[in-house]
Structure 1
Amino acid sequence: MKKNLLLAAVSLVALSATAPALAADLAARPYTKAPPAMVAAIYDWSGFYIGINGGGGSSHATWDVVGFGRDGSHDATGGTVGGQIGYRWQSGQWVFGVEGQGNWADFSGSNTGAITGLTNRTKIDSFGLITGQVGYAWNNVLVYVKGGAAVVGNKFDIRTPGGAFVASSDDTRWGGTVGVGLEYGFAPNWSVGVEYNHIFLDGHDQNFTSGGVLFVTDHIKQDVDMGLVRLNYKFGGPIIAKY
């Protein structure tokens, strides 16, 4: 019994002597800094912008000789180039805006009149759009619809089958427009997009004159469809940070 107690006492003394050494051998854990919070860059569509556009279009024109009936119809097609300026403001993912656009155009076409036998020619040489926009953004991708007023510059003329001038009439017409577009912010402050627009124009009576003398009156009705590629530069900060 005494021998067992003696062995236990010796073991306890040995353990007490080695404990500090074991503790000293344990290496201290290195301090690790918490990883930084992630920052998500979100494109902000708010601000003034200016840009250029180009594309093509087609105007369907119907000519009726007043008092006699349908003289025929044709499509006036061609290219266009112009510019736009506007302002957008963003609330959440919704984007609202106003825009003014002006374009030079060369939409032209003709048909042989069923009544007159002469060549009826239509040319659109300019148009402008004043519209409001409502869109929805997925970060730097924006889809929008637009609508408002349109003004179109027309030149009409009548020629012989051989091309000799007979009579002409110029007209500036106001109407309405609707459209839809897709825009992509590809770099800070820069975006590129595609857009479709339709212009509604009421029918008008056009007095065709030659040398100041009335030749004929035609009732001409038009509408316009066009597709555009657009490049915009937006002023102000392009992104906001979200933590």
Structure 2
Amino acid sequence: MKKNLLLAAVSLVALSAAAPAVAADLAARPYTKAPPAMVAAIYDWSGFYIGINGGGGSSHATWDLVNFGREGSHDATGGTVGGQIGYRWQSAQWVFGVEGQGNWADFSGSNTSALTGFNNRTKIDSFGLITGQVGYAWNNVLVYVKGGAAVVGAKYDVRTVGGAFVASNEDTRWGGTVGVGLEYGFAPNWSIGAEYNHIFLGGHDQNLTNGNVLVQTDHIKQGVDMGLVRLNYKFGGPILAKY
């Protein structure tokens, strides 16, 4: 009996000693690192931005000599350069914004009056736009429409065929503006785009004087069309979205 108990105890000890060796002989399960989550940069149009612009435009002006009739019309054309500052905020793919823009311009032109035979000259040397924007974005491509108020610095001259001064006036005219644009974000903070704008000035009586003497009064109707190329820098970068 004692001999059987002794043999059983020896067998139990032997099995306990062999168990770790068996476990060690088993192949360890290889560790597989989980694949990294895909991360895509989504362009965020939200934030303040500042930029420059340049292009060309044309102002169609019609002169009517008050109480006498139509003198004629002409296109005042030329170049423009300026800057803009604004703020945009994005909700899903919709983008909303406000912007102020100021430009120097040289839109000038003239025609010979059908009534007086003099040259009527129109020149726009500056303009400003205060607008709201609504756009739709496909990641870093934005299409938008805009509208708001416009202010234009204009000059009007009457000269003889030989160029001698007859009368003039300078005016700051207010009106409205609408436009449409396409913008492309080519870097986290940079975008380039093209924009078309129309300024509505309507008609307004202009008293043309020589010194302090009134020479004539013309009712002048104007509208401005222009195309601009714009470069903007936005403060802030893209957001990262995991999917």
Structure 1 gaps, min length 5: 1-23
List gaps (5 residues or longer) in structure 2. Answer: 1-23
How far residue 236 of structure 1 moved from its aligned partner, in angstroms, is 1.8
1:230 maps to what in 2?
230
Q: CA deviation at 1:239?
A: 3.0
**Where does 1:109-120 land on structure 2 (aligned, <5 Å)?**
109-120=109-120
Q: Aligned residue for 1:79?
A: 79
TM-score, normalising length: structure 2:
0.88
Any residues of structure 2 matched to 1:129-208 within 5 Å, and which? 129-208=129-208
Instruction: Provide the residue aligned with 2:5 in structure 1.
Output: none
Distance in 1 (CA, whole Å) between partners of 2:185 and 2:156 is: 41
What is the deviation of 1:40? 1.2
Q: CA RMSD in A?
A: 1.5
Letter in 2 for 1:124: I
Cα displacement string for residues 5-53 of structure 1 (whole angstroms, at most 9, x for unaligned residues) = xxxxxxxxxxxxxxxxxxx999766332221110111010000000000
Q: Does the 8 Å contact 2:39/2:240 carry over to 1?
A: no
Percent identical among aligned pairs is 89
Deviations 1:70-127 (A, max 9, x none): 0000000000000000000000000000000000000000000000100000000000
Match of 2:16 in 1: none
- Counterparts of 1:59-138 in structure 2, within 5 Å, are 59-138=59-138
Count matched residues: 220
What letter matches 1:105 in structure 2?
A: A
Task: Verify the 8 A CA contact 2:47 2:88 in the aligned structure 1.
Answer: yes
Q: 1:211, CA displacement in angstroms? A: 1.6
Once residues 136 and 38 of structure 1 are traced to their aligned partners in structure 2, the CA distance between those partners, rounded to angstroms, is 25
Tell me how far 1:184 sits from its aligned partner: 0.6
Post-superposition Cα deviations, 1:170-199, rounded to whole Å, max 9, x if no partner, equal 111100000000001101211100000000
Q: Which residue of 2 aligns with 1:16?
A: none
In the alignment, structure 1 residue 220 sits paired with structure 2 residue 202: no
Cα distance in 2 for partners of 1:149, 1:37 equals: 48
Distance 1:103 1:192 in 2: 18
Q: Give secondary structure in 1 for the equivalent of 2:236.
A: coil
Distance (whole Å) between structure 1 residues aligned to residue 109 and residue 201 of structure 2 = 17
Aligned-pair distance for 1:208?
Answer: 0.5
**In 2, Cα distance between equivalents of 1:217 and 1:41:** 60
Structure 2 distance, partners of 1:117, 1:218, is 15
Partner of 1:32: 32
Change in CA separation of 1:25 and 1:242 when aligned onto 2, cut-off 3 Å: closer
Distance 2:151 2:172 in 1: 7
Deviations 1:122-165, CA, capped at 9 Å, x for gaps: 00000000000000000011000000000000000000001111
Query: 2:242, 2:80 → 1: CA distance?
Result: 41
CA contact (8 A) 1:44 1:240 kept: no
Pairwise CA distance, 1:62: 0.1
Contact 1:122 1:156 in 2 (8 A): yes
**TM-score, normalization by structure 1:** 0.88
Runs of 4+ in structure 1 over 3 Å off: 24-30
State the AA in 1 paired with 2:186: F
Aligned partner letter, 1:166: V
